[in-house]
Amino acid sequence: MAVGALIGAYQEDDSGGLRALLPLAGRTLLEYQARCAAAAGAAPIVVLVERIPPALHEAFERLRTDGLPIVAVSDGDEAATRFEAGSLILLVGDGIAPTADLLAQLAEEPEPAIAIVPDDEQHKAFERIDASSRWAGAAVVDGRTLGATAAMLGDWDLQSTLLRRALQDGALRVPVSAAGEPLLAESAAQLAGFERGLIASSRGVRSDWASRYVLPIVEEFATERLMDTQVRPQWLIWGALALTVAAAFAFSRGWLWPAMALLVVSTPLDLVARRLATLRLKPMSSRAISPRLLWPAAGLALLALGWRMVWHGSGWGALVAALSAGAFAEAARLERGHAEVPGRIWLFSRRNAIFTAIPFALASAWTACLIALALYAAASFFYVQHWHHRITSD
């Protein structure tokens, strides 16, 4: 069954502005709510708002630019007309910062359901629905209930009235776990802790020792600075790719130090890109082409260095070492596939290779660098092959 979303955006915060415009992860609370609803498969996403200040209009435009089916309405009657007859509607309360998992869970419910939290001191800001529980700010209601509620609404608040009618009609009550509790925000300060949690949860699996032990500080700093900007994750991926190709060109021209610097600068960009995409609830597709091009681009830089060394004192051995490193690295990658190999972080990878090369670069031992990388890639391949055959034989 189709699921839509209805988000309230008309209540004021402590400073007199709209709660929906409170800042969160470089955007507004409303944008976060809409992206969570979209990630749960909701469409259309209808926002109930009495007035549209410039900042809210800009938020709508950003969402529409990203392809989200966002619609603004001014009353319940208009909201009801935006949904298909018989559809379920994901209701997100005004000022509620839900977890994406909570909305995804509710969107999968086949019948109306209300997310609840305990009626205790910790949740006193949430709306009480009975003697033992309060509304967690998210629910699934059906379109008929929305239409009937809008028709008799009068001066009553839509989301509260709709909640009461859904409860009277026997909607399922879904307790929210402590780990998935939403936040009811009335000020920017209240969202600060929630934002820190989002930033922490955006950390992906660090699959190599360079990203786990060398780059975390740079990655955290860049993520926090860029999430408040209009920088798109895809731009960072293309930037890393451009830097790597530029490094290959620099190696071919003999500009060895600038080339090495370009490669080092490129190493955290794809990590930051993925975190920004996660924070904006638009995870990068595993099928995207540009991230996949980073690996062959790094191989091109390796070959360019080997070719340069051939004509400047090292002979053909340098090119053979470069070709061997690339061949063993690709063979190890194919042999490993998507399997979780024990000790994977120590295996040859683009970032690991770049940081392994730094000591050799400092000593201007470029040919030795190529030989070391070839040995590193070969050792990784034979390790993965041994592990794979052992698993197969067992």
Q: What is the DSSP string of 119-132?
A: SSGGGTTSPB-SSS
The C-alpha atoms of residue 353 and residue 373 are separated, in whole angstroms, by 7
**Residue 133 region, left (φ>0) first, then alpha (ψ -120 to 50), else beta?**
beta
Q: Are the beta carbons of 216 and 202 closer than 8 angstroms?
A: no
pLDDT along the chain (394 residues), means of 10: 86 84 90 92 92 92 90 90 88 92 92 93 90 92 88 75 90 86 88 87 86 94 89 94 97 95 97 90 79 95 95 84 95 86 93 97 94 96 88 69
pLDDT at 394: 61
Domains of the chain by start residue, with CATH: 3-190 (3.90.550.10), 207-393 (1.20.120.1760)
Single out the residue of 93, 94, 99, 72 nearest to residue 166, CA to CA. 93
pLDDT at 304: 96
The C-alpha atoms of residue 302 and residue 84 are separated, in whole angstroms, by 57
Q: Are the beta carbons of 67 and 29 closer than 8 angstroms?
A: no
pLDDT at 22: 93
| DSSP for 222-278, written as a single string | HHHHHTTS---HHHHHHHHHHHHHHHHHHHHHT-HHHHHHHHHHHTTHHHHHHHHHH
pLDDT at 368: 95
pLDDT at 154: 60
Reduced to 3 states (helix: H, G, I; strand: E, B; else coil), residue 349 is: coil
